[in-house]
Amino acid sequence: MTTATKNIIDKLETLPDSMVNEVEDFIDFLKAKHAKSFPKSGSEEHVVEEPKSLYGNAKGTILYISDDLTNR
Strands (E), the chain: none
Give, in degrees to the nearest 5, the angle at Cα 16 between 10 and 19. 90
Taking all residues of the chain, what is their mean pLDDT, rounded to a whole number?
Answer: 78
Question: From CA 72, how far away is CA 70, in angstroms rounded?
Answer: 6
pLDDT of residue 57: 75
Residue 11: band (very low, low, confident or very high) from pLDDT cuts 50, 70, 90: very high
55 assigned to some structural domain:
no
7 assigned to some structural domain:
yes
Q: What are 21-53's pLDDT values in tens digits?
A: 999 999 998 888 887 766 665 555 566 666 777
33 assigned to some structural domain:
yes
User: Structural domain of residue 4, as residue ranges?
Assistant: 1-37
Look at the chain and report how many structural domains it folds into.
1
- Could you tell me what percent of the chain has a pLDDT over 90? 26
Pick left, alpha or beta for residue 14 (phi over 0 → left; psi -120 to 50 → alpha; otherwise beta): alpha
- Could you tell me what percent of the chain has a pLDDT over 70? 74
